[in-house]
């Protein structure tokens, strides 16, 4: 999830669209198992054109707005991956409940998380996002659901998810990567692609997390600009199948040469 966007805490007005009349009940056989029986006292649902949203004691307008956004996020992911995506989004009543559903202790600083074929929204953090921020977060997490992350370095799967999320967001590079831009203007260009420790949630340096996402995003953005979007998608899939070194070699790159070209690209885009 893009920390830079998630920290822009402007409240966005919800669209009061009403609950979709044809949304199936949670016990329905067409209701996916990953969205059933999440709360013993029941749940509300809304269905978009291609998405399903279910929540705990959520207002129908809130669910319908989220379904509309999930529809849009699904189309954005489909445009890059080239296959249909049907989002399932869960809206718990609290961050604590979101962590319970995701099977983790805490989700500090996150607005949503991909989990088992679904996107779980962290309501307090998600609610503070701008309208654009909400769309970016949903698209990012849905990319993880649709594309998978197994066998990949963290910079590639987080950078690819941000690449898809920002692709049609209309944000200037210096806005989406504001923290990294400030570092570059101060003469501090990152020396290496971010490793797993840079993405640790709740680490000793919260600012490092925002930089890590921005660095990873610009690595994937560079690959798309230099070799084309289809080549970026192919690299992602090849890296899942055979490892990132072999996938990069197909483009005539190594991690070292990619790092050198990425550093130059970061300087060019943000200085």
pLDDT in tens, 18-55: 223 345 656 554 678 889 999 999 999 999 999 999 99
Greater model confidence, 108 or 5: 108
Instruction: Please name the residue that has the structure tokens 């997490």.
Output: 141
Q: What percent of the chain has pLDDT over 90?
A: 80
Contact indicator for 215, 192 with CB cutoff of 8 Å: no
pLDDT of the residue at 19: 29
Judged by average pLDDT, the poorest of 124-128, 136-140, 203-207 is 203-207
Q: Over range 88-110, report the average pLDDT.
A: 94
In this structure, are strands 118-121 and 88-91 parallel, antiparallel, or unpaired?
parallel
Question: Quick one: how far is CA 154 from the chain centroid?
Answer: 13
**Percent of the chain at pLDDT above 70?**
88
Range 94-110 average pLDDT: 93
The pLDDT of residue 6 is: 37
In this prediction, residues 219-228 reach a mean pLDDT of 98
Beta bridge partners of 91: 55
The pLDDT-based confidence of 201 (bands split at 50, 70, 90) is confident
CA distance 180 to 262: 13
- List every span in the chain annotated with CATH 3.30.2010.30: 33-147
Closest by CA to 9, choosing from 129, 108, 111, 126, is 129
pLDDT at 207: 76
Taking 70 as the threshold, does the pLDDT of residue 64 lie above it?
Answer: yes
Span 235-267, pLDDT tens digits: 999 999 999 999 999 999 999 999 999 999 999
DSSP designation for 23? P
**Sign of the torsion angle spanned by Cα atoms 268, 197, 129, 89:** positive
How confident is the prediction for the chain on average, in pLDDT?
89
Torsion of CA 46, 51, 144, 164, to 10 degrees: -120
Q: Which region holds residue 109: left if phi is over 0, alpha if psi is between -120 and 50, else beta?
A: left
Checking if the pLDDT of 84 tops 60, the result is yes
- The residue-averaged pLDDT of 111-125 equals 96
Nearest residue to 215 (alpha-carbon basis) of 141, 269, 139: 269
Task: State the architecture of 33-147 in CATH terms.
Answer: 2-Layer Sandwich (3.30)
117-146 burial: b if 16+ Cβ within 10 Å, else e: ebbbbbbebbebbeebbbbbbbbbbbbbbb
Mean pLDDT of 84-113: 94
Q: Which residues of 60-87 are buried (b: 16+ CB within 10 A; e: fewer)?
A: bebbbbbbbbbbbbbbbbbebbeeebbb
Question: CA end-to-end span of the chain, whole Å?
Answer: 24
Query: Confidence band (pLDDT; 50, 70, 90) for 203?
Result: low
Q: Do 159 and 41 contact (CB within 8 A), yes or no?
A: no
Give the closest residue to 219 by CA, choosing from 244, 243, 202, 197: 244
In this prediction, residue 45 carries a pLDDT of 94
Q: What's the DSSP call for residue 83?
A: S
Going by pLDDT thresholds of 50, 70 and 90, the confidence category of residue 124 is very high
pLDDT (average), residues 131-155: 97
CA nearest to 266, candidates 228, 211, 222: 222
């Amino acid at each position: 999830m893009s920390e830079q966007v998630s920290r822009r805490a402007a409240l966005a007005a919800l669209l009061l669209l009403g609950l979709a009349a044809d949304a199936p009940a949670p016990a329905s056989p067409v209701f996916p198992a990953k969205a059933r029986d999440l709360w013993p006292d029941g749940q509300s649902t809304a269905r978009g054109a291609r998405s399903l949203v279910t929540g705990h004691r959520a207002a129908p307008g809130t669910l319908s707005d989220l379904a509309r956004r999930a529809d849009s996020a699904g189309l954005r992911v489909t445009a890059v991956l080239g296959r249909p995506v049907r989002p399932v989004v869960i809206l718990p009543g609290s961050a604590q409940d979101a962590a319970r559903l995701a099977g983790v202790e805490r989700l500090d600083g996150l607005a949503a998380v991909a989990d088992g074929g679904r996107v779980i929204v962290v309501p307090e953090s998600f609610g503070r996002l701008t309208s654009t921020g909400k769309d970016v977060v949903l698209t990012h997490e849905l990319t993880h659901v649709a594309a998978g992350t197994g066998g990949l370095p963290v910079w590639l799967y987080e950078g690819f998810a941000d690449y898809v999320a920002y692709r049609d967001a209309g944000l200037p590079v210096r806005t989406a990567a504001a923290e990294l831009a400030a570092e570059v203007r101060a003469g501090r260009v990152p020396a290496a692609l971010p490793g797993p420790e840079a993405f640790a949630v709740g680490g000793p340096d919260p600012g490092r997390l925002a930089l890590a996402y921005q660095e990873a995003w610009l690595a994937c953005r560079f690959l798309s600009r230099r070799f084309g979007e289809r080549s970026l998608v192919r690299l992602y899939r090849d890296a899942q199948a055979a490892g990132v070194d072999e996938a990069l070699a197909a483009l005539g790159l190594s991690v070292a040469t990619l790092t050198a070209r990425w550093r130059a690209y970061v300087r060019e885009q943000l200085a």
